[in-house]
Structure 1
Amino acid sequence: MALLMEPGAEPLTESEQADLAGIAAIKESAAREYKEQGNQFVRMGRRHYAAAVSCYTKAIAQMEPLSSLDASAAADASVLFANRAHVNILLGNHRRALDDAEQAIRLSPSSVKAYYRAVKAALALDLLTDAASFCRKGLEQDPPNEEFKKLLSEVDSKLREQDRQRAKVAQAIAKAKDLAAAMGKRGVKLGKAAYQELTGVKKPVLDEQGVLHWPVLLLYPEVMSSDFIEDFPDTDTFSPHLDVMFSETSPPLPWDDNHVYTRDSIELYYQGGFGKPLSRSEVLRYLLEGNVDSKALPDSLLDGEDEEHDSTKCTTVTSTDSSSKWIKVKEGKTLQEVLQDKGYIVPAIPVFFVVSRKSTFYKDFKAGNWSLP
């Protein structure tokens, strides 16, 4: 009859009281038996860990509802949760392990074992602040515990490293935003990266005077060879850089057998009217690429970046006149002036094509009979 009683109803007769006492004894005995089976499975090795978890779960079920347990029974239930947390840690189920450890602590706030399991699970989940808190609470219960002291030292070290990494990320983000702002102020439109097999992940740099220093790629379309200018301040004109690269004392290009690529014969062009400008958020991601692990970026990094600051994010610039595809660079202009051209979408870094008026290839290039492979 006791099994048919409504939840929360008090037994009225001695018979009902005896029945309830008997049921409680049976459940308590079953819980002990399941616990011991779980312990045996743990000792038998990894292949039996799932069975151990099942046994601890069955043992816990015998003790529910947990909210009605007295202090002694709550302590027993705490051991079961701590034991299941231990096996879940061994299985790599760290979130479940942490949930179990926290329940064990709620049932028995003085359980050193429960705090230890909580520390291990929190560490595995990289919840360093939580791990440190569990360590300190564990030490409150057992001040001489060397394992807690060792774990707390490890956690504190990781927290300091985490702070250093966050500072590094914050600094990189600030620099990227300054770079993006400098480009936007100049009207420079950055497009998708090209020729990265030649340039790697080199990025422009903004100096303390507000000058943008660009890495610049020079391509020789006649043979698809390349040169690279590591540092081209956007306040510089092209002439001095070309004077150095093609001076009379400089060795000829190794493939230029006829020596037609001389200072007085070369011309520079860029590919105009081609590509799609990146949005401001895309520019920031590109500038941070290779400098910061994308996983370390805060979710709020790009909030609102495109709405107010980027009017070109949906604009595609394409050439309608193939003869004007190649735009000649005036050597007396600064790099900034050239990059500001409305038709130039910079392919991550400036790229210019070098041709020689003395070369037979020059006529084909000027006539539009050559295109990028």
Structure 2
Amino acid sequence: MVSISDTESAEAAASSALEREIDKVVKAGKGWKEGEREAYLKRVREEDHPMFAESIDEMDPGVVKAFQDLTYEDETPLSLGEHFKQLGNDRFKRGKKNAMYFRHAQQAYTEGLRNVRLGEETPELTAMAVALLSNRAMANLALKNYGSCRKDCDEALALSPGHLKCLYRKAKAELMLRRHGEALAVCEEGLKIDSSNTELLKIKKECGRALKAAEDATAALNREKEERLERLAAVWDECEAAGVKLGPSGFDESNHEQRNAFLPMADDEGGVIWPVLLLYPQYGQSDLIQAFRDADMLAEHLAAAFPEEGPPAPWDTSFEYRCSELVIYLPLRPVEPSPSVFDWVAEFEKMEAAKVSGEEEMNRRSKERAAAAAAAAARPQRWARVHPGCTLLRILSFEDHVVAGATPTLLLFPKDGQSHKDFLRDSGGRIVTLDP
């Protein structure tokens, strides 16, 4: 049996033998300058010397380049381009089983291009550059680097207009980027060269479907917009005739989609059907009555929402909210009235545009609305205590009230509750009475 001490002795002997051999070689060398012999020995004995490296990653980049230069020193830019093209093709084939090789293929094509561009421009080198660019576009397409794929194709097509493979790969990249119009244009260019190219015909068909769907969606949005404008204009006319003043929304757009799902509409029998928001400040709760005719009496809806015998709302743990025990308040002039139907409707269009434009525009609009709300809050708010026997039209046409946005808002409190007492204290007596 071999002991640990025997193994250590063998390793020490081998190391000593290596030192003796190195020393012999160095002593045989000619022309050593002062200090050079010791510096060389120090480098050879280091663990990270190239001769001891197990992979290229462990070697100094400068040393790697030197070895590569030695490896390819008899090659030409054209032969190197061909070498790396074949290497890339081999790696790309392997990528079908392991996607990591697509990256290796891309790197090989890039190295081939680097070498090709070192040579003087010739037709052969140009053709090789086109092939490498086209193949790198193929690798980028497999890696889903669609922007890089387009760039490679554009560069190749500048050198070789009408290159069908590049046209196909560019069209595919445009399609994946959902640039359907651009993809269709590339397909048309390629089909002028080969009208039966199945790959281009397939992409053209996909683009046609996508563009048609986009056109249909745009047309539907335009129809919806026209219907909304007509609906709001009809509401404005009814309100103007009844003395109801309309203004911009007093809210930000953070929950715009939910609130704007129910817009007022002119009633076929005359008047307006409104969405009405009921707020319960005591609990931070709210309800939206979706269809409140302006001829309806407020008490009718309150009786349905808060019956005397219950059951109470889930948040009304003390069963304080009974129709006969409630007091109702209307905010007076929470916003300034819109001067015209165009200004009023424009508010809704801005909200729709902000929603389509995305989060950044919505945030900008919210900040604008918050600033306006802060300015309004700085003014002392006045209120009207509403008799439940009032119709909605009576409430909305009250001389100093403006409907904010398109949703009338009412505050409700239990008459003898602490929340009502707090509200009366905070209002500073700025309350008037609104009777039927």
Contact 1:27 1:63 in 2 (8 A): yes
Superposition pairs for residues 26-65 of structure 1, below 5 Å?
A: 26-45=76-95, 46-64=99-117
Question: 2:425 aligned with 1:368, yes or no?
Answer: yes
Name the structure with the higher helix share: 2
- Note the alpha carbon deviations across 1:237-266, whole angstroms, 9 max, x for none: 552x5335538xx7744239699524xx65
Contact 2:271 2:295 in 1 (8 A): no
Contact 1:276 1:317 in 2 (8 A): no
Superposition pairs for residues 1-373 of structure 1, below 5 Å?
A: 26-45=76-95, 46-64=99-117, 68-70=121-123, 73-172=125-224, 186-192=245-251, 202-207=261-266, 213-220=273-280, 227-232=287-292, 236-237=294-295, 239=297, 241-243=298-300, 245-246=302-303, 252-255=309-312, 261-262=323-324, 266-271=326-331, 284=349, 286-287=351-352, 293-295=356-358, 313=372, 316-318=375-377, 326-329=383-386, 331-332=390-391, 334=393, 336-337=396-397, 341=401, 349-355=407-413, 364=421, 367-368=424-425
CA–CA distance in structure 2, aligned partners of residues 100 and 195 of structure 1: 43
> How many angstroms does 1:48 deviate by?
2.8
Cα 1:172/1:69, change in 2 over 3 Å: farther
Which structure is richer in relative contact order (CA contacts within 8 A, separation 6 or more)?
1
Cα RMSD over matched residues? Answer: 4.9
CA–CA distance in structure 2, aligned partners of residues 95 and 244 of structure 1: 59
Structure 2 unaligned regions, length at least 5? 1-72, 313-317, 338-342, 428-436
> How many angstroms does 1:174 deviate by?
5.4
CA–CA distance in structure 1, aligned partners of residues 321 and 359 of structure 2: 51
Cα 1:29/1:211, change in 2 over 3 Å: farther
Give the total of aligned pairs.
Answer: 323
Contact 2:231 2:266 in 1 (8 A): no
CA–CA distance in structure 2, aligned partners of residues 171 and 268 of structure 1: 39
Contact 1:275 1:345 in 2 (8 A): yes
CA–CA distance in structure 1, aligned partners of residues 253 and 158 of structure 2: 58
- Note the alpha carbon deviations across 1:56-79, whole angstroms, 9 max, x for none: 122223333899543x54443222
Cα 1:315/1:195, change in 2 over 3 Å: closer
Counterpart amino acid of residue 352 in structure 1: L
SS at match of 1:229: strand
CA–CA distance in structure 2, aligned partners of residues 337 and 64 of structure 1: 80
Cα 1:67/1:212, change in 2 over 3 Å: farther
> How many angstroms does 1:117 deviate by?
0.5
> How many angstroms does 1:80 deviate by?
1.3
CA–CA distance in structure 2, aligned partners of residues 211 and 145 of structure 1: 63
Contact 1:74 1:107 in 2 (8 A): yes
Counterpart amino acid of residue 116 in structure 2: M
Contact 1:176 1:284 in 2 (8 A): no
CA–CA distance in structure 1, aligned partners of residues 135 and 409 of structure 2: 63
Cα 1:65/1:362, change in 2 over 3 Å: closer
- Note the alpha carbon deviations across 1:65-124, whole angstroms, 9 max, x for none: 899543x54443222111111111111211110111122223223322111101111011
CA–CA distance in structure 2, aligned partners of residues 362 and 114 of structure 1: 73
- Note the alpha carbon deviations across 1:267-290, whole angstroms, 9 max, x for none: 42135587999x99875454567x
TM score, norm. by length of structure 2: 0.58
SS at match of 2:328: strand
CA–CA distance in structure 2, aligned partners of residues 288 and 339 of structure 1: 33
Cα 1:212/1:158, change in 2 over 3 Å: farther
CA–CA distance in structure 2, aligned partners of residues 60 and 134 of structure 1: 25
TM score, norm. by length of structure 1: 0.66
Cα 1:345/1:26, change in 2 over 3 Å: same
Structure 1 unaligned regions, length at least 5? 1-22
SS at match of 1:246: helix
SS at match of 2:401: coil
CA–CA distance in structure 2, aligned partners of residues 167 and 339 of structure 1: 41
**Larger mean Cα displacement after TM superposition, 159-168 or 217-226:** 217-226
Counterpart amino acid of residue 44 in structure 1: R
Cα 1:173/1:325, change in 2 over 3 Å: same
